[in-house]
Amino acid sequence: MSVKRDPSGRRSIRAEAEVPGTPEEVWEAIATGPGIGSWFYPTDVEERVGGALRYHTGSEMDHIPAKVTAWDPPRRFRHEGKDCGPDGPPTATEWTIEPRAGGRCLVRVVHSLFASTDDWDDQLENFEAGWPQALVILRLYLTHFRDRRASILRAYGAFDGSVDEAWTALLAALGAPGLAASDPWTLASGAASLAGSLAEVHATSRQPTAFFRTREPAPGIAAACAYKIAERATVVLSVYFYGDGAPAAAARDEAAWQAWMKDRFP
């Protein structure tokens, strides 16, 4: 475990990735509502210190806006909120951008919580597992779909077993065991289907994730992962479509992918 603690009670984790783009292009992706909504969750941001930030995740957290506490484009963006829920400790998420050679930037996110005990460390470890996977989607977005807006669909399921067991079952359901990067990939659910190729797999112990580039029904990114925050493991399929056909594809196919997930991971 790499949770960092200091005497004040602050606990934090850090994730970083090198991504393509100028600092201004990366800032647009990580610190504005349209940008964040193109690779993470639909998001509203008041672009100023003291402004509100609200993720639209479909959970109770949608009703707990964060507050922007640092706004220094294109270098540093920070917001404070209640990422562990209304009864959890205060949290802070800080983004920094450092330019690198070759038209690239280092993006770093530090996620902190402020608590006098270790009761919430497990939540922080889940963030530690999740942020690197989110940064892969950010990198794929900036590489292939920069400045394009996403239409997003998500399907959730549950599994009685460990994360490893859920991951094995998910890979089998996706038809992905044995695939290598760039191998063709297809998946169908009734009249809905996804076609493209495997981008990469991050088989971490806490949140293993497979990433795909889609070609049909619209260009995009699909990510499928497993993790555990309660008694049952959770599996998620997230799809980000881009281009003129994206809104129609997401609206048309969302119910089919939710049914696909319910049939296999009720």
**Closest residue by Cα to residue 90 from 66, 110, 69, 70:** 66
List phi, psi (to 5°) of 161: 160, -175
* Per-residue pLDDT, 124: 82
In this structure, what token pair is assigned to residue 232?
């049952």
Q: Matching CATH topology for 4-144 and 151-264?
A: yes
CATH class entry, domain 151-264: alpha beta
pLDDT > 80? residue 63? no
Mean pLDDT of the chain, nearest integer: 94
Mean pLDDT of 129-154: 97
Instruction: Among 3.80.30.20, 3.40.630.30, 3.30.530.20, 3.40.50.300, name the CATH number for the domain at 4-144.
Output: 3.30.530.20
Give the pLDDT mean for 56-83.
Answer: 91
The pLDDT of residue 33 is above 80: yes
Share of the chain above pLDDT 90, in %: 81
Please state the domain extents for the chain: 4-144, 151-264
pLDDT at 265 exceeding the cut of 60: yes
- What pLDDT is stored for residue 122 in this prediction? 81
pLDDT average, residue stretch 143-150: 97
pLDDT of residue 7 exceeding 50, the answer is yes
Q: Which long-range contacts (C-beta less than 8 Å, at least 24 apart) are formed by 171-175?
A: 171/210, 173/264, 173/265, 174/210, 174/224
Banded pLDDT at 4 (limits 50, 70, 90): confident
